[in-house]
């Protein structure tokens, strides 16, 4: 049994997780052989697997386990009129200040009137800086071909509201959900993948009768907080924080953030906004298409109000990693272990033949193929079994299945649990059912 010891805390925790991400193939600086590009990252094999699991955990809770939400997958480049109508062209800005001394640029709301780089107080007046990336569609770089990379996925859902309403025969309350890349030309990206210029959003637009929006806002705050604890973050590391009036986005009548205790302090994981009918009304006016819903029960037309939980997948992944990182001791030996939820871990099962000898190869492959139909598996037959367990612990693999020489006789294998390190011997025929039972959350 492992003996628990003090887990590293900030700033050691942050460094330990960032190092592990690089060393074990979760996250690499982008285009590292060219010296990278500031605060841009590529997700390596384990990061790509984990990010996919974060998306799937969200998809499961927000779409699969409900009967009132449908998904879409909208284009990243769309008609620029969308961003004009939504208010993003005019108001999706952060206040930018320049330091006259060292020429660094900062977000005025993130510094205390003094340059964090050189300490100078000689700063310019704050001016609005639009965060949308601009590009051109087609071969001509003219004003008429300007387009923007989407800074949020939400607008794709508003402009498709009518299509979804009619094709899916929905009525409020119902939701449209989407996962996808978003782009913001952040003034000061940083803290690893916490703030990057390209990131992934998981957003739900939940359309409700106007009078019901406060109740649904409260409902979604509770649901979203519970999602993070369901997938393994301790509740004391999470909190809900309602926005002050002056913090609210241009479209919001009320926003509450789900925050996580990052090593540097509380930071936002997700914003749950009451967007009212701001977006549907804006698109109705700008497009000239009625986006009202006709309620047959009351005989009234109305524009639904929208409650929007908007979460960052990449930022959530970082929080899950920070929350899962632990160090303990087994038999006097220190180990690093990621206590990730089994559904979030890059690999759910590692298949480990005790020896590289040919005699074990056929049976080991048989076990691997059985498991691969249900789980993401890693097959590893090199080094001592103890070292292989340590490697799997460090990347969060919840179960290791070991095939030994006795397995050839009795067709049983050993299943080792990452957290308790306990080992159970089971017939090969039963391991899939056994492991599926362990994942049933
Ligand atoms: P901030 O005020 O920190 O810039 P925001 O309040 O504008 O963020 P939202 O528009 O509410 O952020 O975005 C929803 C979610 O998307 C955030 O809670 C976060 O998880 C994620 N997110 C936003 N910007 C970034 C970014 N630059 N990098 C990574 N994730 C981000």
Instruction: Write the secondary structure of the chain as one string of H (helix), E (strand) and C (coil).
Output: CCEECCCCCCCHHHHHHHHHHHHCCCEEECCHHHCCCCCCEEECHHHHHHHHHHHHHHHHHHHHCCCCEEECCCCCECCCHHHHHCCHHHHCEEEEEEECCCCCEEEHHHCCCCCCCCCCCCECCCEEEECCCEEECCCCCCHHHEEEECCCCHHHHHHCHHHHHHHCCCCCCEEEEEEEEEECCCCCCECHHHECCEEEEEEEEEEECHHHHHHHHHHHHHHHHHHHHHCCCCHHHEEEEECCHHHCCCCCCCEEEEEEEECCEEEEEEEEEEEECHHHHHHHHHHCCCCCEEECCCCEEECCEEEEEEEEHHHHHHHHHHHHEEEEEECCEEEEEECCCCCCCCCCEEEEECCCCHHHHHHHHHHHHHHHCCCCEEECCCCCHHHHHHHHHHCCCCEEEEECHHHHHHCEEEEEECCCCCEEEEEHHHHHHHHHHHCCC
**Tens digits of residue pLDDT in 366-411:** 999 999 999 999 999 999 999 999 999 999 999 999 999 999 999 9
Determine the residue of 95, 189, 221, 310 to mutate for testing ligand 1's pocket, defined as the one with the most ligand atoms within 8 A of the Cβ atom.
310
The residue nearest atom 9 of ligand 1, judged by CA position, is 271
CA dist., res. 153 & res. 277, Å (int) = 17
Rg (Cα) of the chain, in Å, rounded?
A: 25
> Which residue CA neighbors atom 16 of ligand 1 most closely?
312
- Closest atom of ligand 1 to 152 CA is 10
Would you give per-residue pLDDT tens digits along the chain (441 residues)?
Answer: 555 444 455 669 999 999 999 999 999 999 999 998 888 999 999 999 999 999 999 999 999 999 999 999 999 999 999 999 999 999 998 899 999 999 989 999 888 889 999 999 999 999 999 999 999 999 889 888 999 999 999 999 999 999 999 999 999 999 999 999 999 999 989 899 999 999 999 999 999 999 999 999 999 999 999 999 999 999 999 999 999 988 888 888 889 999 999 999 999 999 999 999 999 999 999 999 999 999 999 999 999 999 999 999 999 999 999 999 999 998 888 899 999 999 999 999 999 999 988 899 999 999 999 999 999 999 999 999 999 999 999 999 999 999 999 999 999 999 999 999 999 999 999 999 999 998 876
Nearest residue CA, atom 29 of ligand 1?
195
Best mutation site among 87, 220, 279, 315 for ligand 1 pocket (most ligand atoms within 8 Å of CB): 315
Closest approach atom of ligand 1 to CA 94: 4
Residue nearest to atom 11 of ligand 1 (CA): 271
pLDDT of residue 137: 94
Q: Mind listing the pLDDT tens digit for each residue in 3-52?
A: 544 445 566 999 999 999 999 999 999 999 999 888 899 999 999 999 99
% residues pLDDT > 70 (the chain): 97
Position in ligand 1 atom list of the atom nearest CA 184: 27
Neighbours of 95 (CB within 10 A): 15
pLDDT at 270: 98
pLDDT value at residue 9: 59
pLDDT score of 221: 98
> What's the pLDDT at 409?
97
Give the residue, by CA position, lying nearest to ligand 1 atom 5: 271
* CB of 270 closer than 6 angstroms to any ligand 1 atom: yes
Give me 393's structure tokens: 């612990």
**Whole-number pLDDT of residue 1:** 52
pLDDT, the chain, mean: 94
């Amino acid at each position: 049994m492992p003996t628990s010891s003090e887990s590293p805390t900030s700033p050691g925790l942050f460094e330990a997780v960032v190092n592990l991400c690089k060393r074990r193939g979760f996250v690499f600086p982008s285009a590292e052989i060219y010296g990278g590009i500031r605060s841009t990252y590529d997700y390596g094999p384990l990061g790509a697997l984990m990010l996919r699991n974060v998306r799937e955990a969200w998809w499961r809770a927000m779409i699969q386990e409900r009967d009132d939400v449908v998904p879409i997958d909208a284009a990243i480049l769309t008609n620029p009129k969308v961003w004009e109508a939504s208010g993003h062209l005019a108001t999706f800005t952060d206040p930018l200040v320049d330091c006259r001394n060292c020429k660094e640029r900062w977000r005025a709301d993130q510094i205390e009137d003094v340059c964090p780089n050189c300490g100078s107080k000689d700063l310019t007046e704050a001016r609005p800086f639009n965060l949308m990336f601009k590009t051109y569609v087609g071969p001509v770089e003219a004003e008429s071909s300007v387009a923007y990379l989407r800074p949020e996925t939400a607008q794709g859902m508003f402009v498709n509201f009518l299509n979804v309403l009619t094709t899916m025969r929905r009525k409020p309350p119902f939701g449209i959900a989407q996962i996808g890349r978003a782009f913001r030309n952040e003034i000061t990206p940083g803290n690893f993948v916490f703030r990057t210029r390209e990131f992934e959003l998981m957003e739900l637009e939940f359309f409700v009768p106007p009078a019901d929006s406060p109740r649904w806002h409260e409902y979604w705050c509770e649901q979203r907080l519970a999602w993070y604890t369901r997938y393994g973050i301790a509740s004391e590391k999470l909190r809900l924080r309602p926005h002050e009036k002056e913090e609210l986005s241009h479209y919001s009548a009320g926003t509450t953030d789900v925050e996580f205790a990052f090593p540097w302090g509380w930071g936002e994981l997700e914003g749950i906004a009451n967007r009212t009918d701001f977006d549907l009304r804006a698109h109705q006016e700008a497009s000239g298409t009625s986006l009202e819903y006709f309620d047959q029960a009351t005989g009234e037309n109305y524009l639904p109000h929208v409650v929007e939980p908007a979460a960052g997948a990449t930022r959530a992944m970082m929080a899950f990693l920070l929350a899962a990182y632990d160090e303990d001791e087994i038999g006097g030996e220190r180990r690093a272990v990621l206590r990730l939820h089994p559904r979030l871990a890059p690999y759910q099962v590692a298949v480990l033949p005790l020896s590289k000898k040919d005699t074990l190869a056929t049976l080991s492959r048989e076990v691997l193929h059985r498991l691969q139909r249900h789980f993401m598996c890693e097959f590893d037959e090199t080094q001592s079994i103890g070292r292989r367990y340590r490697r799997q612990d460090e990347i969060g693999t919840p179960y290791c299945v070991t095939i030994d020489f006795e397995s050839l006789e009795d067709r049983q294998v050993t299943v080792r649990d990452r957290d308790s390190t306990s080992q159970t011997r089971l017939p090969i025929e039963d391991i899939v059912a056994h492991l599926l039972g362990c994942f049933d959350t």
